[in-house]
Amino acid sequence: LLVGLASTRLFLFFFSFKQLHLHLRGGAPDIALPRTFNSFLPGILTLLVFAGVGALLHGAGSSVHELAHHYIRLPFDALHDGLERSLLYILSLHVLWFMGIHGANVLDPITHDIYGAAMLANEAAAAAGLPLPHIMTKNFMDVFVFMGGSGSSICLAGALILFGKTRTSRGLGILSLLPGVFNINEILLFGLPVVLNPLMLIPFVCTPLLLAGVSYLAASYGLVPGASVALEWTTPVLLNGYLTTGSLSGTLLQLLNLSLGICIYAPFVVLTNKVNIRRTNAAFATLAERIYAGDGAPYSRLQDDAGTLARSLIADLEEESREARGLSLEYQPQVDALTGRVVGVESLLRWRHPVYGAIPAPVGVTLAEESGLIRPMGLWIFETACRTRRRWLDAGLTDLSMAVNVSALQLQDSLPEQFMAMTRRWGLPPALMSLEVTESRALDSGSPESRVLTRLHDLGFSIAIDDFGMGHSSLKYLKQFPVNYVKIDGEITKELVTNPICRDIVTSITRLCRARGMLCVAEFVENDEQVAILREEGCDIFQGWRYSPSLPERECLAYIQANHALCDGGGFSAASGAARPTSVREP
């Protein structure tokens, strides 16, 4: 590490002198070649400096490694063989590991020269039938202190399994348990991570120190025989305790140490869970805020927690969309403003993540669009909506429109044929299916998407513009392709009662719709005041919590059937604004 830092600094120092650059005159066939030649002399000078230092040390009869080993051993040689020196060794090793440095390699002279030699002495004494001269040997620490690797990591794996609050943490514990049995712990060191994780510093360092003290006392009082048989460090935990001591008491001591280690790690695992949940919630809030703001950034390329979360969600979405797990459709009824009868539903994508729970639809759809998953997902959504509409048709709902949201990124030449093939497969007339296209910059490319929408309209599908406002882009779409109805932007509907300008916009949209022979749909209708204004301004269809939230397939069918029965039985009242079954859930 020191050589790497020093050599880089030295090279940059030499490179800063323009006189050392070898300029190529007249250009070069490769644009990278001149900079390579500029680095030539600074690179050689850097090598010469290190070669000179190496030659001086060699002339003095030493080397950098020998000097390093000499000074590393000094504090250990100052201590006598016993628990104190072992605790210093264990502490030093784990502090190095925590900083991402291979502690066993750095402390190699202590590991082999002191504790390796102690193990050889124990083996020789055991072969001669003499008492074992050493308690703390390399094998003793491998078996009773470094269970599962540095930090007694198998104890951390157990704590994650027992006290992990999320499937991810418990899954990480299970995943790391098998290699941990063979004393391999990189999954936890760099996957949890433990390295450079301040929440794990105390248990990572203190657990092996405590286990070393307990094990040393157990051997000192003769409760457990010392290590007399050298084993490979990958010998499985519990088995190695028996083999190295020749006694079941060795295995029992390991079980005791395992329990103690789990107890030490447990509160820190719980604390880590809380910190991670809080951090994830903050990342979720940031990601959702950016998506709702519509800044159009590639969210998966953000170099922060929100970007990390976006990349993770995209990977999960790809897996779940492939197996259709966690994804479902709900349906929100749309009612006629005059009769109160349900005349249509909008199919809405719902994604329930196994770890994060319900993902807001704008977040899931935006990430699907960014990753390109929206195309296969869009086909699955349309197919599922067709299947539902077929079931409802068999149940007697003949005059009901099923709306499906279509991303502008789906508008490719093959889409009309794919949609027609699905409607034929389910025996549905295209007129029963409506396609809602949200305003998007992707539509600004003009003719290709417009031609696809025109073809879909010519095949019999109804075309709608979602989130319609009075901006230039909204009006431009009315000219680019045929439109059957528009849906007023929900932000306008939400402020309809409190903002007079929003009412003026609604008035303009409804007049435009009547002039063009289009229907006007208002979504996010949540109270009677909105209903009264929208009806007065001539809006045709209402959608929102005032009538019903989005519902699963069976619940929505029951709602529609109850609504139709109420309307057919004369239960609609102009004063109430709609025929509304009493079983509807309130917001």
* C-alpha to C-alpha distances, 62 to 7, 54, 59, 454, nearest whole angstrom: 21, 9, 7, 83
Strand duo 401-406 + 327-336: pairing: unpaired
Q: Is the pTM of this model over 0.85?
A: no
Q: What is the pLDDT of residues 265-289, one digit of tens each?
A: 999 999 998 888 888 889 989 888 8
Percent of the chain scored above 70 by pLDDT? 92
Could you give the C-alpha distances from 29 to 21, 32, 35, 41, in angstroms and in order? 18, 9, 13, 21
Of 247, 278, 309, the residue that ends a domain is 278
Please check whether residue 417 lies inside any domain of the structure.
yes
Convert the pLDDT of each residue in 107-151 to its tens digit. Answer: 888 888 889 999 999 999 999 999 999 999 999 999 999 999 999
What tokens were used for 174? 């299970």
Q: Are residues 395 and 481 in the same domain?
A: yes
Which of 379-388, 439-448, 572-581 is most confident? Answer: 379-388
Residue 18 placed within a domain:
yes
Does 575 have pLDDT greater than 70?
no
Confidence check: pLDDT of 587 > 50 = no
| CA dist., res. 302 & res. 311, Å (int) | 9
Mean pLDDT, rounded, for 507-526: 92
Give pLDDT tens digits for 292-326.
877 767 888 888 888 888 998 998 888 887 766 78
- Over the stretch 320-373, which tens digit does the pLDDT of each residue have? 877 667 899 999 999 999 999 999 999 999 999 887 888 988 899 889 988 889
Question: Would you state the structure tokens that stand for residue 541, as one six-digit string?
Answer: 């269809």
Per-chain mean pLDDT for the chain: 88
Is residue 34 located within the same domain as residue 179? Answer: no
- Would residue 533 count as lying in a domain? yes
Contact between 153 and 173 under an 8 Å Cβ cutoff? The reply is no
Average of pLDDT values for 236-264? Answer: 95
pLDDT of residue 586: 39
In a domain, 301, yes or no: no
Please state, in angstroms and rounded to a whole number, the distance separating the CA atoms of residues 84 and 77: 12
Domain that holds residue 492: 324-568
Same domain, 133 and 242: yes
Please state the rounded mean pLDDT for residues 514-534: 92
Mark whether 419 and 273 lie in a shared domain: no
DSSP state of 552: -
pLDDT of residue 577: 47
Torsion 576-580-584-587 (CA) sign: negative
pLDDT bin (cut points 50, 70, 90) of residue 444 is low
Same domain, 41 and 92: no
pLDDT at residue 59, as a whole number: 82
Query: Quick one: which of 527, 481, 533 has its CA closest to 509?
Result: 533
CATH of the domain at 460: 3.20.20.450
* Shared domain check, 90 and 41: no
| Residue with the two structure tokens 């102690």 | 118
> Do 412 and 376 contact (CB within 8 A), yes or no?
no
Shared domain for 346 and 230, answered yes or no, is: no
Contact status, residue 146 vs residue 119, Cβ threshold 8 Å:
no
Question: Is residue 288 domain-resident?
Answer: no
Please check whether residues 214 and 92 belong to one and the same domain.
Answer: yes
Q: What local confidence, expressed as pLDDT, does residue 31 receive?
A: 61
pLDDT, residue 110, reads 85
Quote the pLDDT of residue 143. 95
Find the DSSP H helices in 184-247: 186-191, 198-220, 239-245
CA 180, 185, 189 angle in degrees (round to 5)? 145
> Both 377 and 256 in a single domain?
no
Structure tokens at 466: 């979602």
561 token code pair = 């059937």
Same domain, 389 and 508: yes
* Residue bearing tokens 């917001």: 587
pLDDT at 471: 59
- Determine, yes or no, domain membership for 73: no
Closest of 287, 169, 280, 183 to residue 232, by C-alpha: 183
- Is 575 within the bounds of a domain? no
Q: What is the mean pLDDT of residues 208-218?
A: 96
pLDDT tens digits, residue range 366-419? 899 888 899 999 999 999 999 999 999 999 999 899 999 998 888 888 999 999
> Which of 248, 278, 308 lies at the terminal end of a domain, its last residue?
278
Q: Is 297 within a domain? A: no
Q: What is the mean pLDDT of residues 57-85?
A: 82
Domains contained in the chain, number: 3
**Residue 436 binned pLDDT confidence (cut-offs 50, 70, 90):** very high
Residues 356 and 497 in one domain: yes
Do 105 and 36 reside in the same domain of the chain? Answer: no
pLDDT band at 24 (very low <50, low <70, confident <90, very high): low
366, 392 contact by CB (below 8 A): no
